[in-house]
Structure formats: C-alpha cells, structure tokens
Amino acid sequence: MGDSDFKRVVVAGGTGLVGRPLVRVLAERGVQVTVLSRNPGSLRLPAGATAHGWEQLPSLLEGADAVINLAGEGIADHRWTLARKALIRDSRIRTTSSLVAAMRACAHPPAALVNASAIGYYRPKDEAPVDEGAPPGAGFLAEVCRAWEAEAMTVAGLGVRVALVRIGVVLAREGGALPKMALPVRWFAGCKLGSGTQGLSWIHRDDLVEMLIEAARNSAWNGAFNGTAPEPVSNEVFTRLIARRLRRPLLPVPGFLTTLAATLALGEMAEALLLQGAFVVPARAEALGFRFRFPTAQRALEDLL
C-alpha cells in the first residue's frame, strides 16, 4: 500500500501515552482517523480525527486501510492483585475480541490489523540479544501476551494482514517509565535496581509512533515485530546515562537492598517489570529498512531530559 492509498485508519487506545501522538501524526499527514472510545464526546482531538463509540462497530471498520489496537489497562499503574491482573488481561483480550468480531461482520474487512503486544512475551535472559524468533517465556505477562496475540491472529483467516508489535519500555517526557526513573536521580537518590545487569529494552515514543504507522501502511510488515530500539542496555547502564544527563551522582546501594525494597513495595510486579529483563532487538523491523531517529539510549535521553 502506497502513501496515496493510505487514507483511513481506526485507532483503539487513541488517548494513551502512545495513542495521542499517533493520532496527531496520522491526522497531520492527511489520514482520516477514527478513534474508538467509551466516552467519545469527552475527547479533544486534532483536525482530521473523530471519536466514535464502540457500539458503532462494525460499520466504522468497513473498508478501513488499517486498525491500530493499543487498548489495555496500564501494566504498571497499580500493584498486581488478582483482580488487577484479571483487569490487565481482560482489557486486552476482550478489546481485541470485539475488534475481531466486528471484522468478521464486515463485508470488506480492514486491510490490516496492527495489534500491540509487549516484550513481556519473552523470558528473562542474559546479555544475548533476543529477536522475534525467541520462544515465549512463562508467567503472567508472557501468558497475557500469548493470548493477546493469538486472539489478534484469528483475523488472518479473513485475509486481514496482522502485524504484532511487541512494545518495550516507552520513553517520553510527560509520562510512562522515564519520569519515574529520573525522579530519584534528580533528588540525589538514584541507584541501580537489583543486580543492575537485567536488560532494559526501550524505545523512544516518536520512533514507536513511526513504527506503528509503517506497520499499518506497509504490506511487508506481517507477523511479530519487536517495538524496541536497536540498543537495549542494562538497568545499571541506563541509570548511569540518566545520572550523566542530569549531572547527578549515583548511590552505591547494595543490590539486595534495592531488590528487597522493590519487592516489598510492588510484590510480584517488581520481579516481572524491574528486577529481570531481556535484551530485545528489533531484528525484523531493521531487516525491512526501518530507520530509528533515536537508536541509542544516550541520544534518546539527550532529547527527552
């Protein structure tokens, strides 16, 4: 699909950290954007974008060039209770199921579905790079990602191209992980977490927006893609880069103390999100010629801090 043929996109999750700039960039490029929302009347959207309720499916999807699905409860917003974990899982699976059911009811289904997933799909690993061919891990996040992706892939049988973007830690100025990671460093209380050797696979939000758009418009993007920058780093290296950018020292706190503090504060979520990780690389995106504006953590932090 060429740029001239890429005219109408439906976005689910268009009001979040990634969805807002995605909708804005698409609209600025002349794409007609439909944002699915439970409360469409309350949204302020750029010119060229309109909000509609989910009850208007499947008509909103009929003949669309692409659907980009980013909907889901925030993974790190609250401590993981059983109820919270159920909400995280159900908000992803049910939203995707609703889109799948609507596509099945279309006379002319959308040409493509770009469905978010997460690098929680992979098991924690040492410094060896993890590409899209790596096997899935175990545990809550991996189970959610597998179920989420499986639900999205069911529309492939309708002739809909499916691109699954396994998103890493999204770096942005006004939200997400970076302000939380930079805050203790700013206040002279920064230190590595745990051993500090765990992988931190990140992506600048601007690059992720461009990746999602490319996945939506380019028919070569089919299957799973890692939504991460080419240079994953360890937790300790990333924390040192923040400290260097902010001209702050880091405290030499023993790893077992930060592990204990994080576990007491966050429980299971600490292990899954902070104390373990993998060095995930965007092998398939790079093979298709995708170019990152911010390929290194240093360049990303120079832009954002």
Higher pLDDT, 51 or 262: 51
Q: Identify the band that residue 67 occupies on the pLDDT scale cut at 50, 70 and 90.
A: very high
**36 contacts 28 by C-beta, under 8 angstroms:** no
**What is the fold, at CATH topology level, of the domain defined by 3-304?**
Rossmann fold (3.40.50)
pLDDT tens digits, one per residue of 159-213: 999 999 999 999 999 999 999 999 999 999 999 999 999 999 999 999 999 999 9
In this structure, what token pair is assigned to residue 224? 């799973």
**What CA–CA distance (Å, rounded) separates 125 from 162?**
27
Omega prior to 58 cis, within 30 of 0: yes
Q: Identify the band that residue 229 occupies on the pLDDT scale cut at 50, 70 and 90.
A: very high
pLDDT tens digits, one per residue of 129-143: 999 999 999 999 999
pLDDT tens digits, one per residue of 40-49: 888 889 998 9
Secondary structure class of 203 (helix, strand, coil): strand
Q: Is the pLDDT of residue 1 over 60?
A: no
pLDDT of residue 4: 58
Three-state secondary structure of 1-65 = CCHHHCCEEEEECCCCCCHHHHHHHHHHCCCEEEEECCCHHHCCCCCCEEEECHHHCCHHHCCCC
**What CA–CA distance (Å, rounded) separates 262 from 275?**
8
Higher pLDDT, 256 or 145: 145
Cα(first)–Cα(last) distance of the chain, in Å? Answer: 37
Q: Identify the band that residue 104 occupies on the pLDDT scale cut at 50, 70 and 90.
A: very high
Claim: this prediction has a pTM higher than 0.85:
yes
